[in-house]
Amino acid sequence: MTQQLLDWYSAHYRPLPWRNDPSPYHVWVSEIMLQQTRIEAVLPYYRRFIETLPTVADLAQAPSEVLLKLWEGLGYYSRVRNMQKAAQVVVEEYAGALPADYDALLALPGIGPYTAGAIASIAYDIPVPAVDGNVMRVLARLTADDTDVLSNEGKKCFTALAWDLVPEQGAGRFNQALMELGETVCLPNGEPHCTDCPLQNICEAHRLGCAQRLPVRIKKTARRVENRRIAVVRVEGDPPAVLLHKRESSGLLADLWELPNTLSDNPLDSLPTEWRERCTKMADLPSGKHLFSHIEWRMQGTLYDLDRAESLPEGYALATLEMLQTAFPLPSAFRTYANLLPQILSEEC
Ligand code: SF4
């Protein structure tokens, strides 16, 4: 199986920047970004991140606003915060070089078994597996195993199988080949391309004709729905600005700037009382939706005008269009309204 897979990988792998130069740092950054986003979407983010922060030491020292701006649009901001914490440990304890040791990698903030396995095997060729959803899908199909891949039992069983399969030499290429097969041939949500697969002759699911039913994924909990009212408060000025609020430093979207919002019926309820009274409703805005891992925001926006705000209470800021581009990372949850801001802020107050 190993040789078949490696031969196929040599002929079909996609040349990607982190594959062309697989330093531990490059592998780390790419793997964290790829946990949440498709390769095509990650490429510009990856290039910008590595250009701005070319080393672990640069990441360790980066100002929070720079870091969040580089991550803006990728979501899951806790991942980049954890990367910075890990980078600080790497600078202090390992002189800025990620350790060539699976357990030491695993001990770093934000690095789980998959990422530790990817860095250790791809960058250092240590014989450990890197088991993500793609790899579990391939393994479940190869063995026609219907254990739920979302259950602890499933994770344990497919991880144990991956440990058995990973070769002593060339673990990095083997792991990448399995991932690549899952991403380009043994596809989720539909019919896998078995006729293009180098492992067709040993695949149990293909033999039994059950590949489309595998892997089994049993979702436990539905997302909690939150109906949020969003206040887009346009503030008079030259140029005009929009009112932003800084979120708490823990929990969902911690420390990020947001459009004022509330779970109550009045979109202005989150603002200080004296401001609420000075806001004039201008228009209803479109509804929006955003999915977090455990919560779904269903949003309804309203546009207000506010005359000049002389002094801002703590935790609020005014952002012009230019500042939104450069200094205030608005989370992608607010994309529906962020996309309207160029038009809203260019209209006469
Ligand atoms: Fe996946 Fe089909 Fe290959 Fe089996 S033969 S591993 S189901 S693509």
Strands 241-246 and 316-319: antiparallel
Nearest to 10 by CA among 202, 182, 198: 198
- What atom of ligand 1 comes closest to residue 197's alpha carbon? 3
For residue 190, is pLDDT > 90?
no
**Number of Cα atoms under 13 Å in the Cβ half of residue 230:** 26
Q: Give dist(CA 123, CA 109) in Å, integer.
A: 19
Residue nearest to atom 4 of ligand 1 (CA): 203
- Mean pLDDT on 187-208: 92
Q: What's the rounded Cα separation, in Å, for the pair 231 and 337?
A: 10
State how far the Cα of 204 lies from the Cα of 86, in Å rounded to an integer. Answer: 41
C-beta 187 within 6 A of ligand 1? no
Q: What share of the chain is helix, strand, coil (3-state, %, to 5)?
A: 50, 15, 35
Judging by DSSP bridges, how do beta strands 241-246 and 261-262 pair with one another? unpaired
Give the phi and the psi of residue 291 in degrees, each rounded to 5. Answer: -105, 120
Q: What is the pLDDT, as a whole number, of residue 273?
A: 84
Q: Is the pLDDT of residue 191 over 50?
A: yes
Distance 141 CA to ligand 1 centre (A): 6
CB of 42 closer than 6 A to ligand 1? no
The ligand 1 atom at the shortest distance from the C-alpha of residue 203 is: 4
H helix count then E strand count, the chain: 18, 7
Asked if the model's pLDDT at residue 349 lies above 70, the reply is no
Contact 153, 147 (CB under 8 A): yes
Q: Residue 31 catalytic? A: yes
pTM score, two decimals? 0.71
pLDDT for the residue numbered 342: 93
> Span 57-81, mean pLDDT?
90
Q: Which residue out of 186, 207, 212 has the highest number of ligand 1 atoms within 8 Å of its CB and is therefore the one to mutate?
A: 186
Amino acid 35: pLDDT: 84
- pLDDT at residue 348 is higher than 60: no
Burial 332-347 (b: 16+ CB within 10 A, else e): bbbebbbebbeebbee
Instruction: Give tens-digit pLDDT for 269-309.
Output: 988 888 888 899 999 999 999 988 789 999 999 999 988 76
| CA–CA distances in Å: residue 36 to residues 41, 109, 248, 328, 334 | 10, 18, 23, 22, 18
- The CA 19 to ligand 1 mean position distance, Å, reads 24
Atom 5 of ligand 1, residue of closest alpha carbon: 200
> Is the backbone peptide bond immediately before 239 cis, with ω within 30 degrees of 0?
yes
DSSP string, 29-62: HHHHHHTTS-HHHHHHHHHHHHHHS-SHHHHHH-
Query: Ligand 1 centre and the CA of 142: distance in Å?
Result: 7
pLDDT attached to residue 179: 94
Q: Which positions ≥6 away from 72 have C-beta within 8 Å?
A: 329, 330, 331, 332
Pick from 2, 19, 28, 18: nearest CA to 100: 28
What is the pLDDT at residue 96?
A: 94
Indicate which atom in ligand 1 lies nearest the CA of residue 194. Answer: 2
> Where is average pLDDT lowest: 21-30, 158-167, 175-184, 287-296?
287-296
211 lines ligand 1 (CB under 6 A): yes
Separation of alpha carbons 148 and 219, rounded Å:
9
Query: Which 3 state secondary structure label does DSSP give 261?
Result: strand
Work out the angle at residue 79's Cα, subtended by the Cα atoms of residues 37 and 339, and round it to the nearest 5 degrees: 55
C-alpha span between 158 and 85 (Å, rounded): 30
Q: What pLDDT, on a 0 to 100 scale, did the predictor assign at position 347?
A: 64
pLDDT at 220: 73
* Whole-angstrom distance, CA of residue 274 vs CA of residue 263: 20
> Which burial class, exposed, middle or buried, applies to 67 when counting CB atoms under 10 A from its CB (0-12, 13-18, 19+)?
buried
**Over the stretch 201-256, which tens digit does the pLDDT of each residue have?**
999 999 988 899 899 888 777 789 999 999 999 998 888 999 999 998 888 888 88
Q: 191 alpha carbon to ligand 1 midpoint, in Å?
A: 9
Query: Is residue 98 a contact partner of residue 43, using CB atoms and an 8 Å limit?
Result: no
Which residue out of 139, 146, 184, 185 has the highest number of ligand 1 atoms within 8 Å of its CB and is therefore the one to mutate? 185
